[in-house]
Every structure is written in C-alpha cells, then in structure tokens.
Structure 1
C-alpha cells in the first residue's frame, strides 16, 4: 500500500483537510503548518494521486497535442512553444504523432478523451472532423493547429499557405525560372493542397511559365531524395529549372540527391530550390536552403491561448477564433547563388 493523505495527516498531527489545503491551496494554511506537513510528506515519501484528483474535478491539467509528424522540426517547434505557454498556466502537454494516418489520429483522440484531458490541439490528417466535433460539443475544448477552420465551430490557428505557395513561386519566377516543379504529398493533405493552389496562382500570372506537380507518398527527406534521383535520370532539357517543395524535409532530400557523389545537377545554377517551414537545418545545409518561414512559436502559444479561452466558455455559447498568420520569404543560396546565406 502507498502512503495516503491520512498517513501524512497523522504524522503531521493535522486533519486530512489541512493536508489537502497544503497541496492545493497553501495560502489558506499558516506557514508553520505548511512546513510541518511538507516535512511529513518528505519523510513518508507521499506522492499525490493526481488521477483521483482529476476524476473528482472532471478534467485533468493535461492537454493533448496530435501532430502530423513529430520528426518534422516544424511540429517539434510548435510543441515546444505550446509546452512553454501551457506551463505558464499549470498545464502539461501530452504529445502524439499521427504519422499522417487518420486511424492513428483517431486512436490518439480516443485515448486523450478517456484521460479527460483539459483540451485537445490537433493538426488533422483529413477533412472528416466529426469525432473532434463530438468531443467539442461534449465540453472538451478543441483547437485545430496548422489548419484554418474559419466558418466552422472550431477554434484554429494557421498560416496562409496559399499566400506562402504563391510567394515561393513568385520568387522563382522573379529569378527568371519558368519550368517549375511542385514536389510534395500526399496531395490530399490540406497544407500540401493549399501550397499547390498558391503555386498555381503564381504560375497563371506569368506568361510562358508552367507547373509540374510531382506527388510524394510522405513529406520526408527520403521521399525528396527519390524525386531528386528521378529528376537526375531525365535529360537536362526535360528537367524543371526550379523546384518548390511542400516542406523543408522534402527539399533537403532533393538537395541531398543533387549534391551527393555523382550528382549531375547544380543548385541553383541548373535548378533553383526552395522549401517551406524554414526549419533550423535549412540555413545550415550544404547549400543554404531558401524557404517560406512560418511563425512556429506564435502558432504553438496561440493554440494554447485559444484552448484556455474556449475552456472558460460554454461550448454552446463560445464564439470561435481563427487567427491566420502570414508567412515570410527567406531567400538563401539555393535560389540566389553563392554568397547568400
């Protein structure tokens, strides 16, 4: 048997209620009594039963966060910022990764629901949000991350990916590139689709420009390397003169393929290359990578702020908030050439 609050109360010669106040509302107890109870806790090795406390309260102090790929530094940075903001409000973030798999996402949502989390932040795989909506209607706050949910009952925080896609291709076309390839996938992912839409809008405004869409199974370095290998097998006249990748991991893979031993493509002389997210590795690549920067710290912190605001309202009276941040072009050597870091 573990040490109970009653054991602590007996050792400190106080009531169980006093021990509870020391643990939860120490300002209600005299400093000398707090010291005596704390000494008994330390001596006995008492560990509070948070699970029981959460059952009584009906909601835990944990927040669930489900991202598409925890191996992507973009989502790691969002999680880190969310942890900092949550910690300022006595909340703990529990992290799960769906690996872009709707069934894994659903399993995490079910698990966090069973744990009675304070709220849930999700970067959804697809457009079927019925399970999340049921959770929201039952009183658990839900915030969509990296997804604009304007016009829906959900709070959300996102970046304008259509603007980001257009920004990337405008940059390439401004450098004189006309045969652009857009690389990423699956194309059903909302972020990938929106960045493609932005790229298509930019191409439509430039006479003589074309856009080739190359779908990848995942947004990974390995998938990008495969595309780079395929482009090198083409005759030079059949290759694009610029590549826009749906994220930096894919772009890093393309760059690895081009620059590995025996690579036949020079960046940016033969093919200009730009990614998306501006992860830390982008600036330290063998050819520093141009990218579209997203404000990850603001995304993570804002998601927690929206969750707290939703938690303070009735789910039937809450008016959702849907901030959309603007991305930023960061141009480096992979498009501008040597001397640009």
Structure 2
C-alpha cells in the first residue's frame, strides 16, 4: 500500500500565475485591497480559494513592520492552573488580534532558555514567563534586545521587569492558619524545590502562621520534598508521609494536582479524610470541588492573572514597568473540615 505524498503548500507565485497577475498585485490584495480594482481582486481571491492558499504570517508581519505573536512559558501546561492562566492571556490577546504560543519549561532552566531562544527567533513581540529559578538575568538581557518581558505568577526581583503575581506568602499562611484553627498541631507540607519562588513563599507563609500561633516550625512542620509537582509526586510524597512514625494529622499541598495524588493515596490506604488526616491544596482549580472528597484550597484569580500579564506586555517598551499583586482566598470544603465544623 502506497501513501500519497503531502500536497505542496501553494505560494504567492502560484496564486499570481493562477490569477494571471503579478506577485505585487497578489500582495496588494492581501495587504492593501483598496489599491486593486474589484474585478482583479475577485480574480485573485478566487485563485486563493482554489489553491487553498494560506498567507505566511511571520513574513507578512516582517513586511508590514508589525508583530502580532507573543509567547508564554509556564512550568507545566498540563496543570489546570496554568491552563486557566493561559486562557486569560489568550482572551485578552484576541481582543487585539494577537496570537499566543505556549510552552512548558517543566521547571528546567535549560528548557526555559531553549524556548525563549525559539520564541525570539520566531520574532515574537514579547514573552510572559513563569521563571524556573530566581535568576532573571537572561530575561533582562532578552528585554534589552527589544523583546518585551513580563514575569508571570511571581513578583519581580528587579524594578526593570513587569510582573503579575499572587501573594503566595499570604496564601501559605491562610492554609496553615485554617489547619491550626481545626486543632492540628503537626502539619506536613508537600512542597517543591525552594528555587521555585512560589514554593519558597508558600513555605514562608506556613512558617509565619505557626510562629504567630506560638509554635516552633522545626517541631510542628514536616516538609516533604516532591519529585514532581503533579499527582504522581503527591502520591509518592504521601506514601512517605504515611511511613512516618509520628504521623502529621494534616497535609498542605503546594498545588491541587499534588493534593489530588495525596487524596488518591489516602483513600487507597483506608485513611479517612478529614477524620484521620485533613488535606488542603492550592490554586482551587476546577476539579477541586468535584472530587470524591471536595478539596479545601487556596484560590488564585487565574484568568485575571493571565489577562493582566497580557495587558502589561501589550503596553509596549515605552510604558514603565508595573508590578501587580493579587490576594488569594481560602475556599473551605470537606477535605479539611468535618461536617458541622468551622
């Protein structure tokens, strides 16, 4: 059995030959239709339809001197939190006819740098980046070369880079304070690497809540390192937690995907939630309220994060850098509070 070769993509020259006009006339129909007579324009449009011609977007942008593509790099697009943020970006860009390209760094600085290079080679107007580490020197260099940069989901360590973030220290504090109010005095925190700002800030919030309650974090907090910031990582970390001799009575997870893995493991091992162990997540993604045991979670304004980041990027190089910080809120559900509880 033979497979047909893919059809060659029609070019501007193909359209010109088919319509019996010059390449310049085809270009005018595509970019300046008012300069072409109606009869000629109709002939060219008919040729475009017959040949299924699709204009080369980057080439048109270069000729016109305008760029309508932007990039976004997040830690993991499979995480519903980042999917929702990307939707906010996309909705804002669509109002001005911009196109979004999205990539995942997988928390890998080298992978992040590779995508930044590819985006720059593609000629994007700017990039929105969730940095994989605290080092933003490469982003400052990129901005100096004329590519707009906005830090996404983290505050900027420098006034030169615009940023949109949520107060993750306060978010961690909200989660831990809630668990303390439920009577828990030994809390596990399933956390990612401290090189990721969100992980470090949420840990600071937990420690602040414990200290404010007169409790020493060294005695009352058990931090368990995650191999990955997803459900599989949550399962592995929860297995480690269950093996502890002095088992914590509450678990705070750095995000809702990790919490999903934790809940899955606890249910499989016959551990009652919240009777034996209470669970709190972070992000309040769409599935949090739909789980077998609805998940208490720290809510972030995901769509507004994306919209605001896109707004800052589209403001252009001449606009002063801005730093926007949103406040999180705790959404209490069954996973941390027994029926009739506070």
Q: Do the two structures share a fold, i.e. TM-score over 0.5?
A: yes
Distance in 1 (alpha carbons) for counterparts of 2:256 and 2:11: 52
Maintained 8 Å contact 2:225/2:237:
no
Shift of 1:14: 5.8
Contact 2:134-2:195 at 8 Å conserved across structures? no
Q: Which of 140, 144, 151 is the equivalent residue of 1:144?
A: 151
> 1:264 Cα shift?
4.4
Q: Which of the residues 97, 111, 116 maps onto 1:104?
A: 111
Tell me whether 1:240 sits opposite 2:245 in the alignment. Answer: no
2:270 matches 1:270: no
Any unmatched runs of 5+ in structure 1?
A: none
> Which range is displaced more, 159-168 or 52-61?
52-61
| Alignment partner, residue 283 of structure 1 | 289
Q: TM-score, normalised to structure 2's length?
A: 0.89
How far did 1:40 drift?
A: 2.4
Task: Map 1:185-200 to 2 at 5 A.
Answer: 185-200=192-207
Aligned residue runs from structure 1 range 13-24, under 5 A: 16-24=23-31
3-state SS, counterpart of residue 251 of structure 2: strand
Aligned length: 331
Distance in 1 separating the partners of 2:38 and 2:310:
34
CA distance in 2, matches of 1:41, 1:339: 67
- The residue correspondences of 1:53-202 to structure 2 (distance < 5 A) are 53-57=60-64, 60-149=67-156, 151-202=158-209
SS at match of 2:106: coil
Distance 1:178 1:2 in 2: 66
- Distance (Å, rounded) in 2 between the aligned partners of 1:329 and 1:13: 66
Of residues 248-257 and 8-17 in structure 1, the stretch that sits farther from structure 2 once superposed is: 8-17
Distance 1:48 1:215, change over 3 A: same
Q: Distance in 1 between matches of 2:106 and 2:131?
A: 11
Match of 2:227 in 1: 217
Q: 1:271 to 1:28 in 2, by over 3 A?
A: farther
Q: Secondary structure at the match of 1:86?
A: helix
Confirm whether residue 250 of structure 1 aligns to residue 258 of structure 2: yes
Q: How far 1:11 sits from its partner (Å)?
A: 5.0
Task: Give the aligned partner of residue 322 of structure 1.
Answer: 323
Query: In structure 1, what is the equivalent of residue 334 of structure 2?
Result: 333
- TM-score normalised to structure 1 length: 0.89
Matches of 1:98 and 1:14 in 2, distance apart? 47
In 1: Cα distance, 2:36 partner to 2:64 partner: 22
Is the CA contact (8 Å cut-off) linking 1:160 and 1:326 kept in structure 2?
yes
Deviates more, 1:7-16 or 1:132-141: 7-16
In 2, distance between residues paired with 1:6 and 1:208?
A: 75
Secondary structure in 2 aligned to 1:323? strand
RMSD: 2.3
SS of residue in 2 equivalent to 1:276: strand
The gaps in structure 2 that reach 5 residues or longer are 1-7
Deviates further, 52-61 or 42-51: 52-61
Q: Is the 8 A contact 1:333 1:339 kept in 2?
A: no
Change (3 A) 1:207 1:298: same
For residues 199 and 163 of structure 2, what CA distance do their matches in structure 1 show? 18
Correspondence for 1:231 = 241
Find out whether 1:50 has 2:57 as its counterpart. Answer: yes
State whether residues 244 and 275 of structure 1, in contact with CA within 8 Å, keep that contact through their aligned partners in structure 2: yes
Cα distance, 1:35 vs structure 2: 3.6
CA distance in 1, matches of 2:212, 2:24: 71
Q: Distance between the aligned counterparts of 1:334 and 1:26, measured in 2?
A: 61
Task: Tell me how far 1:303 sits from its aligned partner.
Answer: 1.4
Structure 1 residue 300 corresponds to structure 2 residue 306: yes
